[in-house]
Structure 1
């Protein structure tokens, strides 16, 4: 039986391990920390439970497809709630926020109310987004780009001109062709942030993201995203995956007598002992930069440091977890705060001389609006994410304000701005739990390249087949999964990356999702005696 080691217990590692085990491999997953989830972790204090990372449940069909591959479904495994409003947006200089609702029709009416003619423009925009999304799922999201033959059929070539335009035109210019009002442009351009980039740096191809929040709606899994991780970990174990926590991999080992191929990994266990584990294959779902520059010997690196020097990281982030006494009716489950000078905001994060934006656009998540289990009765669970440059020098966070100075200053400014714009003057006085996380924490805890919060940005040079591939060119038997490889950033993309890695390891060059459910291997024949 083939023995496969998976490095990293985030959603991509767990999903990859589950698929490989169902296929009949013997799979061991090694996670450096004591808890699973990676970026999708959790933290609890005084009755407040916080998701410490992803908080948007988009592309529900991707989750359901993954569950069906394993013989179950999202409906069986999760209690999903449709959010309405899907999110609220506060704009600097405008007294009234804008709510994005759960239905396409309501959002078309909202756009029309703000700008006459924008309703019809949004209809056309969403038609284009849906068409592009369908093309992406059918042709681009589920492929390893190992072979380009599937892209040479008539249907793809017929759309070639349109796809080229969408790749070469930036998202902000594309959006400007539909609406004029700055607020509407910001709503349509904001999905670039989900992709670790900015509207002027992201290809218009990614306007497909608006199909998800403006037409499909936004869901929430009761129990939070840590519960989603628990479910996938349980399914992986049911498939036969051995999960070992507090197992920090220190090297991916290789034999080089004839070519170079993996032989296993060496890791440090909870007691600090060095253990070598043999394997036929290794899938690293850890950060790709960390994998290639720290775990793989220099002589067999596909992505050495010089490769990364020509790439752009997505943003860093300051995270702020707040337990607040009383309710906050001014906020919804998801609330966005946009500054008026957006371009300057993004240039300070991604420009040639990065610095912390001031004022900064930011995001607030209040899951207690939907989930009664994440805060004491009558109180509010509030999570803020403020994009900053990917720079470990900004520092690390802490408890009750004892993090590094810049991190705490960013947190204080966001709390004050939220209180002002949303009309909650006593917000700071009602905070009883506070924890911050900074870029230094992402680097130390998750081995994140440059301390980035998401992974490499989705620019033209870092999308599709131009993104990091999912197998080593130098070391046979080494594969990659997760947000730093194809297809990209976000929980749905990480689930797809697991499937692409599985396909790559099985020589499957198709561009479509796997058939559901995956067959389970026949039991090995019993030898007669």
Structure 2
């Protein structure tokens, strides 16, 4: 990599936040030749992708699906290593299991990745749908490739990529995918409610509802039905550790327990970032500041009002991702009823999502629930003879729902909702004594996301991927009012999720290089890791 310091007038960089976006940005910029220090307010790294341990159990507290593996591969290769060298990846079979309301615990759907397996599953449930799914997945693959090559790695500093003649040729096909909802796209092609839900649920990974995200995002089905689902042994926290390891290998310094309370600026004549101010009063000078903490917090709390690109008024009509009620459960005995990934879908999906995103929001009951049982694949996450469950219930992005706690010590309303969720899982999956077998319990709720992660409205992921908050309409990776202030993370380009955050870090690098291409940065033929 050839450094270009012309945009920062120097080499000193401070990165705010040690989640995956902050660590990845630091690693890329350090490899580029900058001197990089990361400041993290909490005592541990990871941000939303955190970890919690108790009594021999180790829980991921955030992401638990490893999707878009080529994005991870590309990131690590940019830094002279590979996902294969840094992670122990295990393919999951089935990719996930689905229980649906009123179908009974004896009849779950096991979704196995692979085109032939997926077609056979659909055909067995809805005769004739196998051929339709084949075409659907062809379209999903094309949309995914288009997104990777044209949209996700574009910083949109220039609109040249959007006016490319080759892209313009695709507009007749693209326009309907952008203007119609995912649910309408799916419902036009499939009749069985279970199949519709299998194809619509990925909208939740995008922080949205199948009734609210554009149908372009049917591309997500390419990932789980065509490509497959992997699990990094040790949990998703090993991904964070790998990115940290690579960053440190390239010379990055990471300071935890160092809350940032302000971004310092000079205005002579244009405003530019000059560093950060820590909670203890220390000021740290820098030539470039990259904030990867929540964008709303960055803009409304770390900058003076007149220098905000996205002031409080900008957020009034924006849509956050759902909040989340998380349950971390250590369970005595085995739970073969659950796969590594298990989904519970309510019959009235529109009502369920309306409770989360509608005008008068509330925690749905029953709820559509995601359960991760990593102990199905990984014996390092629970003591022998026990199971590890991570339960995610999408709820309204509303910190007034309350905060969670350990062993029932959270707010009463949160713990009551958690009890209902445990009872629902027990009934729907055929584990009647589930509640009695729980030996470790922790709840996390929107109030925790707001207090611990500065998450706007207590959301769990970032800005939802509605049409008006995707691609060219999503917040950019740099301030419009403050020079030498860049952004990365789930609320800016390109979006939500660990792979998107890695791309977000790469967009910071592309901006510094003046690279306005629409695709990924070219990988070096070979870059030896420092110390190798």
Fold shared by both chains (TM-score > 0.5): yes
Aligned pairs for 1:353-364 (under 5 A) are: 353-364=360-371
Match of residue 70 from structure 1? 79
Aligned pairs for 1:3-42 (under 5 A) are: 3-42=12-51
Question: Which of 433, 441, 449 is equivalent to 1:434?
Answer: 441
Contact 1:24–1:520 under 8 Å retained in 2:
no
Contact 1:71–1:518 under 8 Å retained in 2:
no
Question: Which of 368, 377, 382 is equivalent to 2:384?
Answer: 377
Tell me if 1:105 matches 2:112: no
Aligned pairs for 1:413-424 (under 5 A) are: 413-424=420-431
CA separation in 1, counterparts of 2:70 and 2:149?
13
Contact 1:8–1:38 under 8 Å retained in 2:
yes
Match of residue 494 from structure 1? 501
CA separation in 2, counterparts of 1:518 and 1:416?
54
Aligned pairs for 1:266-305 (under 5 A) are: 266-268=277-279, 273-305=280-312
Q: Measure how far apart 1:518 and its partner are.
A: 8.3
Give the CA RMSD over aligned residues.
Answer: 1.2
Tell me if 1:58 matches 2:67: yes
CA separation in 2, counterparts of 1:299 and 1:508?
29
CA separation in 2, counterparts of 1:294 and 1:139?
34
Tell me if 1:478 matches 2:485: yes
CA displacement, residues 322-374 of structure 1 (integer Å, 9 cap, x when unaligned): 00001100000000000000000101110111111121111100000000000
Tell me if 1:230 matches 2:237: no
Match of residue 189 from structure 1? 200
Any idea what SS the aligned residue of 1:145 has?
A: coil
Q: Measure how far apart 1:49 and its partner are.
A: 0.5
Aligned pairs for 1:77-226 (under 5 A) are: 77-95=86-104, 96-226=107-237
Q: Measure how far apart 1:506 and its partner are.
A: 1.8
Question: Which of 327, 331, 339 is equivalent to 1:332?
Answer: 339
CA separation in 2, counterparts of 1:239 and 1:25?
10
Match of residue 5 from structure 2? none
Match of residue 49 from structure 1? 58
CA separation in 1, counterparts of 2:526 and 2:516?
19
Contact 2:79–2:527 under 8 Å retained in 1:
no
CA displacement, residues 47-91 of structure 1 (integer Å, 9 cap, x when unaligned): 010000000000000000000000111111111000000000000
CA separation in 2, counterparts of 1:289 and 1:518?
39
Q: Measure how far apart 1:39 and its partner are.
A: 0.5
Any idea what SS the aligned residue of 1:127 has?
A: helix
Q: Which runs of 5+ in 2 are unaligned?
A: 1-9
Contact 1:22–1:520 under 8 Å retained in 2:
no
Contact 1:22–1:518 under 8 Å retained in 2:
no
CA displacement, residues 188-231 of structure 1 (integer Å, 9 cap, x when unaligned): 00010001110110000100000000110100001111111111
Q: Measure how far apart 1:152 and its partner are.
A: 2.2
Any idea what SS the aligned residue of 1:190 has?
A: helix
Q: Measure how far apart 1:406 and its partner are.
A: 1.7
Question: Which of 375, 387, 396 is equivalent to 1:389?
Answer: 396
Aligned pairs for 1:235-274 (under 5 A) are: 235-268=246-279, 273-274=280-281
User: In the comparison of the two structures, how many residue pairs are matched?
Assistant: 518
1:17 and 1:141, CA in 2 relative to 1: closer, same or farther beyond 3 A?
same
Q: Measure how far apart 1:257 and its partner are.
A: 2.2
Q: Which runs of 5+ in 1 are unaligned?
A: 524-529
Contact 2:80–2:527 under 8 Å retained in 1:
no
CA separation in 2, counterparts of 1:73 and 1:230?
14
Question: Which of 314, 317, 327 is equivalent to 1:310?
Answer: 317
CA displacement, residues 308-333 of structure 1 (integer Å, 9 cap, x when unaligned): 00101110011000000011000000
CA displacement, residues 144-166 of structure 1 (integer Å, 9 cap, x when unaligned): 01111133222101001211111
CA displacement, residues 233-255 of structure 1 (integer Å, 9 cap, x when unaligned): 01101111111111100000100
CA separation in 2, counterparts of 1:151 and 1:167?
14
CA separation in 2, counterparts of 1:177 and 1:242?
52
Contact 1:315–1:452 under 8 Å retained in 2:
yes
Any idea what SS the aligned residue of 2:242 has?
A: helix
Q: Measure how far apart 1:505 and its partner are.
A: 2.0
CA separation in 1, counterparts of 2:389 and 2:27?
33
Q: Measure how far apart 1:520 and its partner are.
A: 7.2
CA separation in 2, counterparts of 1:286 and 1:451?
14
Contact 1:261–1:476 under 8 Å retained in 2:
yes
CA separation in 2, counterparts of 1:127 and 1:93?
32
Q: Measure how far apart 1:172 and its partner are.
A: 0.4
